[in-house]
Amino acid sequence: MTLDVTAVRRQFPALQSDTVFFDNPGGTQVPQAVLDRMLGYLTKSNANRDGAFATSRESDRLLEASRGAMAALLGAARPEEIVFGPNMTSLTFQISRALAREFLPGDEIIVTRLDHDANIAPWRLVAEDRGCLVRWLDFDPEDCTLDLAMLDTLLGPRTRLVAVGFASNAVGTVNPVAEIARRAHAAGALCYVDAVQVAPHRRIDVQALDCDFLAASAYKFFGPHLGVLYGRHELLSRLRAYKVRPASDAPPGKFETGTQLHENIVGALGAAEYLASLSDAASSDWSARFDRAFSLIEAHEARLTQRLVDGLQAVPGLRIYGITDPQQMGDRLSTVSFTLEGKTPRQVAGSLGEAGINAWDGNFYAQAVTERLELEDRGGLVRIGAVHYNTEDEVERLLTALARVA
């Protein structure tokens, strides 16, 4: 079975226009199932938590159903390992602040130059506050892959945490997170993973990765604006949260400060239900359905990625940053960034926008990447990002438009 993209696209109201959405790395469109969940919540069960009345009880049920769905989506051992928040960045700052209580002057934190700043800035600020040392893991500018040999030279007895992205939001590289977590743990350090960019493309299993924390954003996997954090239960239990006094002292409640974005949390349930619906697995088990759904998604996106890379390489004056070797395509996502000779990234993105094609330009908050590639002062990159609702015809439309721009 292959993915029925025509049937998929019918479920997304935004896709009924003539716009081509290749701005997906910055946020995907949402299916009707998500809109229905959010509207249903606001019209039928809009209430605060723990009330002794029907709408509050139904609200609690839906919020916990979403927590369970997110636990299955990320492979968590139990729903209590899932924490909701306004976005990945806010959740990372919150966890970094709690972890900082345990860090001592002279301790070391490793970050990478391939990461979004949301997985760099919180740790740099922790280091500044606690007198810790930040060590930088570099990447190869030729193919934008991390230098794992360098990681072994950075790890040491004072390393407390390794922060790494599952995939680069700037150039699409998929990092060997399980191996990085293994090396971090061997050195006695924790591993914090930014999985925002990989979540719409590949199956995530925190048990297989053996990471300690992993953060994602629902609006990158077809849901509403919402942050989702996985944390090992023993770590979430041990850490002291910054919270108000009446809030629970147990996870996940102690990290969910104040009233949460209830309708968005229920919308994330709708996103999980949508993803599960893509599966042809004859099972009611969330995990089995996610396994099959992402298998179909990956196969479809692999075809789009190969055509996208091949076509972009044929455009005169265009340079792709990241993996282009056909033998390494499994180590990259369908997020492809480039520059075009004689044009600024904003000019290229503007021309594509005039042609009805959405594309991002700049550094995408991955400033360490554009600085390392010496592109920060030249407007950064143009970024194209396909997901499973994109089509081969849309890729051809993009390539034709770029040929005109070039």
Residue 64: CB atoms within 10 A of its CB come to: 13
Whether 92 and 124 have beta carbons less than 8 Å apart is answered as: no
**283 pLDDT above the threshold of 80:** no
DSSP secondary structure string for all residues of 26-53: G-----HHHHHHHHHHHHH----TT-SS
Tell me: the pLDDT tens digits for 90-117? 999 999 999 999 999 999 999 999 999 9
Residues of each domain in the chain carrying CATH 3.40.640.10: 34-275
What are the CA-CA distances from residue 235 to residues 19, 98, 240 (Å)? 45, 10, 10
Run of H or E residues at 362: strand 360-362
Task: State yes or no: pLDDT of 281 exceeds 80.
Answer: no
pLDDT in tens, 65-81: 999 999 999 999 999 99
pLDDT mean across residues, the chain: 97
CB 275 within 8 Å of CB 296: no
* Averaged pLDDT, 163-183: 98
Write out pLDDT tens, residues 354-402: 999 999 999 999 999 999 999 999 999 999 999 999 999 999 999 999 9
CB 59 within 8 A of CB 47: yes
Cβ atoms < 10 Å from Cβ of 261: 18
The span from the first CA to the last CA of the chain, in angstroms, equals: 38
Whether the CB-CB separation of 111 and 137 falls below 8 Å is answered with yes
Show the tokens assigned to 164. 């790494």
Sequence-separated (6 or more) residues with CB below 8 Å from residue 54: none
Element (DSSP H or E) covering residue 164 = strand 159-165
Instruction: Report the pLDDT value the prediction gives residue 246, as an integer from 0 to 100.
Output: 87
Does residue 195 register a pLDDT over 80? yes
Q: Which residues have a Cβ under 8 Å from the Cβ of 274 and sit 6 or more positions away?
A: 11, 31, 33, 34, 222
CATH topology of domain 34-275: Aspartate Aminotransferase; domain 2 (3.40.640)
Q: Is residue 174 over pLDDT 90?
A: yes
At 179, is the pLDDT very low, low, confident or very high (cuts 50, 70, 90)?
very high
The stretches of 103-256 forming alpha helices (DSSP H) are 121-130, 148-154, 177-186, 206-209, 233-238
User: In this predicted structure, what is the pLDDT of residue 282?
Assistant: 72
User: Is residue 314 pLDDT above 80, yes or no?
Assistant: yes
Express each pLDDT in 134-150 by its tens digit.
Answer: 999 999 999 999 999 99
Q: Place 1 in a pLDDT band, splitting at 50, 70 and 90.
A: confident
Instruction: Tell me which architecture the domain covering 5-30+286-405 has in CATH.
Output: Alpha-Beta Complex (3.90)
Q: Work out the number of other CB atoms within 10 angstroms of the CB of residue 157.
A: 9
Question: Directed axis angle between helix 392-405 and helix 345-354, to 10°?
Answer: 120
User: Is the model's pLDDT at 278 over the cut of 90?
Assistant: yes
Q: What are phi and psi of 254, to 5 degrees?
A: -70, -15
What the block records as the tokens of 246 is 């009446």
Least confident span in 206-210, 245-249, 294-298, 391-395:
245-249
pLDDT tens figures, 224-266: 999 999 999 999 999 999 988 888 889 999 999 899 999 999 9
Contact 345, 382 (CB under 8 A): yes
Tokens 């790890």 appear where? 155
Delimiting residues of CATH 3.90.1150.10 domain(s) in the chain: 5-30+286-405
- The full length of the chain comes to 406
Average pLDDT over residues 286-292: 95
Q: Do 173 and 25 contact (CB within 8 A), yes or no?
A: no
The residue-averaged pLDDT of 314-333 equals 97
